[in-house]
Amino acid sequence: MAIVHEFEYFKPERIEDVIKLLLEYKGKASLLAGGTDLVVRIKDEIESPAVVIDIKGIKELKKLEFKEGKLHIGALVTFADLIDSDVVKEQFPLLWESSKTVASVGIRNRATLAGNICSGVPSLDSGPALLVYEADIVVRGAEGERVIPALNWFLGPRRTALKEEEFVREIVFSLPVKKHGGSYVKLGRYKGEDLAQVGLGILALEGDEYRLAFCAVGPVPGRAKKIEALLNGKPLTDSLIETAKSLVSEEISPITDVRATKEYRIHIAKIMLERGIKAAVERVDGKGPAYGERLI
Amino acid sequence: MKKISFILNGEKRNAYVEPNDLLVDVLREKLGMHSIKYACGRGDCGACTVLLNGKGVRSCIILAIEADGQEILTVEGLSKDKLTSLQESFIDQGSFQCGFCAPGMIMSATELLNKNPNPTEEEVKEGLSGNLCRCTGYTPIIKAVLDVNEKDVDKK
């Protein structure tokens, strides 16, 4: 199916020119990076922008750089770039593991992390990693830059804290001070390309500190605060895991849809919690299943 | 209409496109690259896979105008002189039935083998997980990709 909707196309080379275009066509412009979401939405006429601003001409947005304990992920960095990066694999293994579960190679070669969080669908695989590493999102607008913590980013399905005339310049992950291990457990219908029915990211830090975030089981991805409060400061035991599992239904609010029922999602989320947290804790000391190995 | 230029299968080509023209349509209809198949139109099935700057992408969700100045490889370019050992392997293993998915499969597998000449079965499955086949049950396709590797080892 061809695209019926007509639009103008711009490919600026400077960030300033993106801002200018966003102000000029306020509310009528769509930003294009990988296009894996946008082009489908234009085809479906869900989005009908007057102009499409292709940001792939702006070289500085391709930056993927680790310095002084901070990983800077430019708006044009794709999931394939993240997977191919040794720094991501070694220092932020949970981000690496979740990136590996996004769609398929052919999509990961185009789709960007920034685009994924701007689309902000409830099932986004990158959501839990952003939330447990407590990443910062650097957005650029006419009046300069502001930093939005990932914890304040997701407002609703496809709704984020980004304003119309702003765009994401980069996403910054700070390396946790303590040694850590992580796991991203994703339930799809099969191992290949699929959306998450339940996604769970767990970060275990040395000293019995735990951060957990779910996706696909509520309107936005979110941290599991009650479970974290229960677990923090305690070494992991089987009975502790059982208590944590009993809190799962208080933390998530899944819906029944074509992919799974609400009851099934709650049931499986508990199993994912058990497997995911065991793996994350073992991985703190370099043991346990290798990153990328499916836990469910 | 805007004139775009890119390298298609090693040759410089030009095309006049509208901003809303899709890459798959321009490659198929204007430039005759009929190996590329249009199926789902949403990047889910992989039938329209081409290599853009060496990376497998879905040409059905890329605007043609985005290809300006880039490099594209399709099956036509891959086998310009003779079939690649991967294509030979597809024939040997009978990895086609209707054949509709084959060009996309071959482009995705080509990318995989360029990057990782000795993939494990798991890696082949991951590399091809975005390419759907409704006939073969995948077994002969995966075998064909693994077999290229064995063949090349035999040659050494």
Whole-complex ipTM: 0.95
Residue A16 lies in a domain: yes
Q: Are residues A36 and A89 in the same domain?
A: no
Residue B141 lies in a domain: yes
Q: Contact B60/B43 with Cβ under 8 angstroms?
A: yes
Sign of CA dihedral A92, A98, A104, A110: negative
Angle at the Cα of A283 from the Cα atoms of A278 and A286, rounded to 5 degrees: 145
Can you tell me the distance from the alpha carbon of A76 to that of A61, in angstroms, rounded to the nearest whole number?
A: 5
Q: Mean pLDDT across the stretch B97-114?
A: 97
Q: Contact A292/A278 with Cβ under 8 angstroms?
A: no
Predicted confidence (pLDDT) per residue in A132-161, tens digit: 999 999 999 999 999 999 999 999 999 999
Residue A83 lies in a domain: yes
Q: Mean pLDDT across the stretch A176-204?
A: 91
Predicted confidence (pLDDT) per residue in A96-139, tens digit: 999 999 999 999 999 999 999 999 999 999 999 999 999 999 99
Residue B149 has what pLDDT? 67
Cα A259 to Cα A187, A221, B134, distances in angstroms: 11, 18, 21
- Whether A164 has a pLDDT exceeding 50, the answer reads yes
| Nearest CA among B81, B65, B59 for reference residue B9 | B81
Average pLDDT, chain B: 95
| Nearest CA among A60, A77, A83 for reference residue A112 | A77
Predicted confidence (pLDDT) per residue in A244-295, tens digit: 999 999 999 999 999 899 999 999 999 999 999 999 999 999 999 999 998 9
Residue B131, domain extent: 85-155
Q: Are residues A83 and A136 in the same domain?
A: yes
Higher pLDDT, B118 or A190: B118
Q: Are residues A48 and A64 in the same domain?
A: no
Q: Are residues B52 and B97 in the same domain?
A: no
Residue A50, domain extent: 8-57
- Whether A178 has a pLDDT exceeding 80, the answer reads yes
CATH code of the domain in which A46 resides? 3.30.43.10
Can you tell me the distance from the alpha carbon of A19 to that of A26, in angstroms, rounded to the nearest whole number?
A: 10
CATH code of the domain in which A189 resides? 3.30.390.50
DSSP code, position B51: E
Q: Are residues B65 and B90 in the same domain?
A: no
In terms of Cβ atoms closer than 10 Å to its own Cβ (0-12, 13-18, 19+), residue B130 is buried
Q: What are B2's strand-pairing partners?
A: B17
Q: Mean pLDDT across the stretch B90-102?
A: 96
Residue A275 lies in a domain: yes
A39 neighbourhood in chain B, CB within 8 Å:
22, 61-63
Nearest-CA distance from A97 to chain B in Å?
14
* Selected residue of A25, A38, A39, A45 to mutate for chain B interface (largest B Cβ count, 10 A): A39
Q: Are residues A184 and A269 in the same domain?
A: yes
Higher pLDDT, A192 or A232: A232
Can you tell me the distance from the alpha carbon of B8 to that of B77, in angstroms, rounded to the nearest whole number?
A: 8
Predicted confidence (pLDDT) per residue in B42-67, tens digit: 999 999 999 999 999 999 999 999 99
Q: Are residues B66 and B45 in the same domain?
A: yes
Q: What are A184's strand-pairing partners?
A: A201
pLDDT band of A189, cuts 50, 70, 90: confident
Average pLDDT, chain A: 96
Q: Are residues A164 and A237 in the same domain?
A: no
Q: Are residues A66 and A165 in the same domain?
A: yes
Residues 6 or more apart in contact with residue A160 via CB below 8 angstroms: A117, A118, A120, A153, A154
Q: Does B3 touch chain A (CB under 8 A)?
A: no
Residue A1 lies in a domain: no
How many domains does chain B divide into? Answer: 2
How many domains does chain A divide into? Answer: 3
At A269, the amino acid letter reads A
| Nearest CA among A106, A105, A88 for reference residue A97 | A88
Q: Are residues A53 and A63 in the same domain?
A: no
| Nearest CA among A108, A129, A122 for reference residue A154 | A122
Predicted confidence (pLDDT) per residue in A42-62, tens digit: 999 999 999 999 999 999 999
A103 neighbourhood in chain B, CB within 8 Å:
43, 130
Residue B57 lies in a domain: yes
CB contact under 8 A, A35 and B21: no
CATH code of the domain in which B103 resides? 1.10.150.120
Predicted confidence (pLDDT) per residue in A8-26, tens digit: 999 999 999 999 999 999 9
Q: Are residues B70 and B98 in the same domain?
A: no
CB contact under 8 A, B19 and A54: no
Residue B155 has what pLDDT? 47
